[in-house]
């Protein structure tokens, strides 16, 4: 049977001994395939040629048997090595077993050899099976490990694919433009954000030169020009600004550059707008500071001649002519201050959108004449002739006489101010189509051509030296333009240059159906009111104002009782029983509004229905409405015009209906 097949290598000198062993084994049922090594020449036999057993004669003179055993062991061959010895030597047996012999037999014990070989072969088969099982176990383990590694590799590969897909999605959906450029500057990849930035399609850029120097950098700003499909060239005007970053990467196994483009156009525009606003704010602050400095100067300047002439008048050293000159100077400078304050208040209303008109039919000749009267003293002081050329056929216009007089006063005041001594100012009124045209022509300093477009801007003045020499806040002409436009008219300025005078032309629409009578001109009313027998209670916390009002009303014949506060006024009202109350509004402790409310709460016999006039320095429709609502019969604006106040008192004493004096 197959288990008794045996490949044996013999190390024997005597062929007869070999034959005897073979006969013994054949008799035991072994089918032996063998090879005999009888000389040292045969010793070159390969020991690893599948031998099942090696049988060696210990007394083999041609070969050191133990050396052969060492060779088998050195080659790691699992082959039983049986040593046969003809001499009974215990030491030899011990030596052989120590070095690893499978068995040791004496020649007269060869009958045991078949059993020894069977045991050796069984042991070898068992070792082979164990080794096979071990190999199978190792193979199974390695197979499991390989399978795990394969699964892990598949998981890693799937994860890499997922990451790559996510990266592609991230790049595609990135708000920043992403472009991959090779070392030659050719575009290899471009995401949708970059296509939008360049305003082109993928086929128009992919494979083309990128167009920007690609070097490793951070935050380089570049101008993006829209792609022109028709001319295949970029527009000459940059539409967008991008922040470009470049990093070196590996793309498809080659060195490339990833270019990130962030659109910062809006940010730059916002920064530019912010810088412009900052410059405008700084300019506005600068103009404000300059305006406040000029305002301080303009408010103080008229006070110098007023205070100076007042001190001279009090000294008693002035003769009649000088007294008249002093009074005219004081009146002229006080008028300048009043007009300055009026202009400031008007501009404030304009800027708040609260300037309104009280239109009536207006005779322009009368209104212009009233404005001329206001600048008469200033013109006389410089020996300036004011020449009027009025067309008698110019009809009335529908407008606010007070505001129109403010327009013409500003134009005439500027003309007189900028015209040198002994010069002339021409005022022309004529009809042009359906408009009344008013021209104020002077022979003064003129206007520089480059300043003409700005002559009607707020706080703009032609030259700082002019401002110091001629004064002014730069409010008059802007105010004039606004008032003229409110009346539906136009104004323009003309000048041939410096030193050649200036012409201001105002055009106002005429009334289509003019009334027979127009507004009353208060400057032509010479009838002074008579207040004889009228008892007036004057209330003002300022002694100078209070004394002035007492003197003024007594000069018109009134009997005046003065009170320094609202509390004094309430006591005097019951005790004196006046015919009329004149009260300031801005007073401490009890202001004019509180006073009139307390008065109106009194019974009629204690003065609860007394006519009351408010002296109001506050401008605005709201202030006037509040005066009416709190119980005042009418109000008279400050600074007080003597004739106006006296007339108002006379009218109130005679009439019971309310009257409003503007």
What span, in angstroms and rounded, lies between the C-alpha atoms of 7 and 45? 14
Model pLDDT, residue 431: 93
The two tokens of residue 525 are 């009313």
- 3-state secondary structure labels for all residues of 36-58: EECCCHHHHCCCCCCCCEEEEEC
Model pLDDT, residue 656: 41
- Cβ neighbours of residue 660 under 8 Å, at least 6 residues apart? 624, 634, 635
What span, in angstroms and rounded, lies between the C-alpha atoms of 245 and 216? 7
Higher local confidence (pLDDT), 116 or 607: 607
What span, in angstroms and rounded, lies between the C-alpha atoms of 104 and 97? 7
Higher local confidence (pLDDT), 339 or 595: 595
Range 490-507 average pLDDT: 91
Q: What is the DSSP letter of 101?
A: -
Model pLDDT, residue 285: 77
CA 106, 110, 111, 114 torsion: positive or negative? positive
What span, in angstroms and rounded, lies between the C-alpha atoms of 117 and 123? 10
Say if residue 236's pLDDT is above 60. no
CA 320, 321, 326, 328 torsion: positive or negative? positive
**In 500-542, where does DSSP find H-type helix?**
none
| pLDDT over 90 percentage in the chain | 20
Confidence of residue 108 (pLDDT cuts 50, 70, 90): confident
What span, in angstroms and rounded, lies between the C-alpha atoms of 244 and 226? 17
Separation of CA 147 from chain center: 61
Q: What is the DSSP letter of 567?
A: H
Say if residue 473 is exposed, middle or buried (CB neighbours under 10 Å; 0-12, 13-18, 19+): buried
Q: Which of the given ranges, 39-43, 249-253, 337-341, has the highest pLDDT on average?
A: 249-253
- The mean pLDDT value of the chain amounts to 81
Say if residue 519's pLDDT is above 90. no
Local structure of 16: helix, strand or coil: helix
Model pLDDT, residue 351: 67
Range 480-490 average pLDDT: 90
DSSP β-ladder status, 535-539 and 559-563: parallel
Confidence of residue 442 (pLDDT cuts 50, 70, 90): very high
Range 465-492 average pLDDT: 74
Model pLDDT, residue 657: 36
Separation of CA 293 from chain center: 33
Nearest to residue 65, comparing CAs of 9, 11, 19, 18? 11
Taking residue 628's Cβ as centre, other Cβ atoms within 10 Å add up to 14
What span, in angstroms and rounded, lies between the C-alpha atoms of 30 and 96? 26
Asked if residue 639 has a cis previous peptide bond (ω within 30° of 0), the answer is yes
Model pLDDT, residue 95: 82
Model pLDDT, residue 234: 45
Q: Which of 3-12, 440-449, 554-563, 604-613 has the lowest mean pLDDT?
A: 3-12
Asked if residue 492 lies in contact with residue 471, where contact means CB atoms within 8 angstroms, the answer is: no
Say if residue 160's pLDDT is above 90. no
Local structure of 126: helix, strand or coil: helix
Model pLDDT, residue 549: 92
Asked if residue 434 lies in contact with residue 393, where contact means CB atoms within 8 angstroms, the answer is: no
Taking residue 654's Cβ as centre, other Cβ atoms within 10 Å add up to 8
- Cβ neighbours of residue 256 under 8 Å, at least 6 residues apart? 180, 181, 182, 183, 188, 248, 249, 250
Buried b (16+ CB within 10 A) or exposed e, 217-249: eeeeebebbebeeeeeebeeeeebbbbbebeee
Asked if residue 193 lies in contact with residue 176, where contact means CB atoms within 8 angstroms, the answer is: yes
- Give residue-wise pLDDT tens across range 544-588: 889 989 999 999 999 999 999 999 999 999 899 999 999 998 888
Model pLDDT, residue 625: 60
- Give residue-wise pLDDT tens across range 368-396: 998 898 888 889 989 999 999 999 889 99
Confidence of residue 425 (pLDDT cuts 50, 70, 90): very high
What span, in angstroms and rounded, lies between the C-alpha atoms of 368 and 401? 10
- Cβ neighbours of residue 323 under 8 Å, at least 6 residues apart? 313
Taking residue 607's Cβ as centre, other Cβ atoms within 10 Å add up to 22
Range 482-509 average pLDDT: 91
| pLDDT over 70 percentage in the chain | 83
Model pLDDT, residue 658: 39
Range 459-466 average pLDDT: 52
User: Strand locations in 185-228, DSSP E?
Assistant: 187-190, 217-224, 227-228
Confidence of residue 17 (pLDDT cuts 50, 70, 90): confident
- Give residue-wise pLDDT tens across range 286-334: 766 666 666 665 677 677 778 888 888 888 888 888 888 888 888 878 8
* Host H or E run for residue 128: helix 113-173
Model pLDDT, residue 41: 62
Model pLDDT, residue 460: 62
Say if residue 469's pLDDT is above 60. no
Local structure of 276: helix, strand or coil: helix
What span, in angstroms and rounded, lies between the C-alpha atoms of 492 and 505? 5
Taking residue 426's Cβ as centre, other Cβ atoms within 10 Å add up to 17
Say if residue 412's pLDDT is above 60. yes
Model pLDDT, residue 208: 86
Confidence of residue 13 (pLDDT cuts 50, 70, 90): confident
Higher local confidence (pLDDT), 7 or 538: 538
Asked if residue 312 lies in contact with residue 318, where contact means CB atoms within 8 angstroms, the answer is: yes
* Host H or E run for residue 332: helix 320-352
- Give residue-wise pLDDT tens across range 169-221: 777 677 788 888 888 889 988 888 888 888 888 888 888 888 787 766 677 87
CA distance to 120, 427, 581, 659, per residue, from 7 (Å): 13, 149, 153, 150
Range 520-546 average pLDDT: 77
Model pLDDT, residue 518: 41
What span, in angstroms and rounded, lies between the C-alpha atoms of 576 and 537? 8
Range 136-161 average pLDDT: 87
Contacts 24+ apart (CB under 8 A), 239-245: 239/199, 239/265, 240/197, 240/265, 241/265, 241/268, 242/177, 242/197, 243/219, 244/212, 244/217, 244/219, 244/220, 245/217, 245/218, 245/219, 245/220
**Cα-trace Rg, the chain:** 62
Confidence of residue 659 (pLDDT cuts 50, 70, 90): very low
Say if residue 400's pLDDT is above 60. yes
Specify the residue for token string 């477009």.
453
What span, in angstroms and rounded, lies between the C-alpha atoms of 92 and 98? 10
- Cβ neighbours of residue 230 under 8 Å, at least 6 residues apart? none
DSSP β-ladder status, 397-399 and 424-432: unpaired
Q: What is the pTM of this model?
A: 0.44
Nearest 5°: the CA angle 9, 10, 14 is 160
Q: Dmax of the chain from CA atoms?
A: 185
Higher local confidence (pLDDT), 459 or 534: 534
Model pLDDT, residue 525: 45
Q: What share of the chain is helix, strand, coil (3-state, %, to 5)?
A: 50, 20, 30
């Amino acid at each position: 049977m197959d288990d008794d097949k045996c490949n044996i290598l013999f190390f024997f000198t005597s062929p007869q001994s070999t034959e005897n062993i073979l006969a013994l084994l054949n008799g035991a049922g072994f089918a032996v395939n063998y090879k005999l090594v009888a000389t040292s020449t045969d010793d070159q036999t390969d020991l690893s040629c599948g031998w099942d057993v090696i049988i060696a004669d210990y007394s083999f003179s041609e070969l050191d048997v133990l050396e052969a055993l060492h060779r088998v062991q050195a080659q790691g061959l699992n082959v039983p090595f049986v040593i046969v010895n003809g001499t009974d030597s215990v030491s030899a047996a011990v030596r052989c077993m120590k070095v690893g012999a499978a068995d040791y037999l004496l020649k007269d014990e060869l009958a045991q050899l078949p059993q020894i070989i069977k045991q050796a072969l069984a042991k070898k088969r068992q070792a082979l099976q164990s080794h096979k099982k071990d190999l199978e176990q190792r193979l199974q383990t390695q197979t499991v490990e390989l399978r795990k590694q394969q699964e892990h590799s598949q998981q890693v590969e799937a994860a890499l694919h997922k990451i790559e897909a996510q990266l592609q999605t991230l790049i595609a959906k990135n708000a920043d433009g992403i472009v991959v450029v090779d070392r030659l500057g050719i575009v290899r990849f471009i995401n949708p954000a970059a296509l939008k930035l360049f305003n082109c399609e993928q086929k128009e850029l992919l494979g083309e030169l990128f167009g920007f120097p690609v070097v490793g950098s951070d935050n380089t700003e570049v101008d993006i020009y829209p792609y022109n499909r028709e001319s295949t060239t970029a527009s000459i005007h940059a539409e967008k600004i991008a922040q470009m970053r470049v990093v070196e990467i590996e793309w498809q196994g080659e060195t490339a550059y990833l270019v990130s483009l962030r659109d910062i156009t809006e940010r730059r525009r916002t920064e530019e707008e912010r810088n412009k606003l900052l410059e405008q704010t700084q300019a506005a602050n600068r103009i404000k500071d300059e305006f406040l400095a000029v305002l301080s100067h303009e408010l103080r300047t008229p006070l110098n001649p007023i205070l100076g002439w007042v001190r001279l008048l009090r000294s008693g050293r002035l003769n009649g002519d000088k007294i008249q000159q002093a009074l005219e100077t004081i009146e002229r400078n006080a008028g300048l201050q009043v007009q300055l304050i009026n202009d400031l208040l008007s501009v404030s209303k304009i800027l708040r959108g609260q300037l309104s008109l009280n239109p009536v039919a207006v005779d322009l000749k009368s209104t212009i004449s009233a404005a001329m009267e206001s600048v008469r003293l200033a013109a006389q002081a410089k020996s300036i002739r004011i020449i009027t050329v009025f067309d008698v056929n110019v009809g009335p216009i529908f407008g606010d006489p007070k505001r129109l007089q403010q327009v013409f006063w500003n134009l005439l005041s500027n003309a007189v101010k900028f015209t040198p001594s002994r010069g002339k100012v021409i005022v022309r009124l004529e009809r042009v189509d359906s408009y009344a045209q008013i021209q104020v022509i002077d022979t003064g300093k003129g206007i520089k051509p480059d300043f003409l477009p700005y002559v009607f801007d707020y706080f703009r003045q032609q030259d700082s030296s002019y401002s110091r020499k001629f004064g002014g806040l730069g409010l008059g002409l802007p105010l004039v333009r606004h008032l003229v436009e409110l009346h539906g008219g136009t104004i323009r300025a003309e000048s041939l240059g410096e030193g050649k005078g200036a012409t201001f032309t105002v055009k106002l629409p005429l009334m289509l159906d003019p009334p027979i009578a127009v507004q009353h001109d208060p400057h032509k009313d010479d009838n002074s009111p008579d207040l004889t027998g009228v008892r007036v209670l004057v209330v003002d916390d300022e002694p100078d104002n209070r004394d002035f009002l007492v003197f003024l009303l007594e000069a018109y014949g009134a009997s005046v009782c003065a009170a320094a506060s609202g509390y004094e006024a309430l006591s005097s009202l019951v005790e004196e029983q006046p015919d009329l109350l004149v009260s300031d509004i801005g007073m401490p402790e009890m202001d004019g509004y509180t006073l009139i409310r307390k008065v109106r709460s009194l019974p009629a016999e204690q003065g609860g229905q007394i006519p009351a006039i408010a002296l109001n320095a506050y401008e605005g429709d709201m202030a006037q409405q509040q005066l009416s609502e709190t119980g005042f019969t009418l109000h008279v604006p400050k600074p007080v015009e003597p004739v106006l106040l006296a007339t108002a008192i006379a009218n109130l004493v005679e009439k019971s209906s309310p009257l409003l004096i503007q």
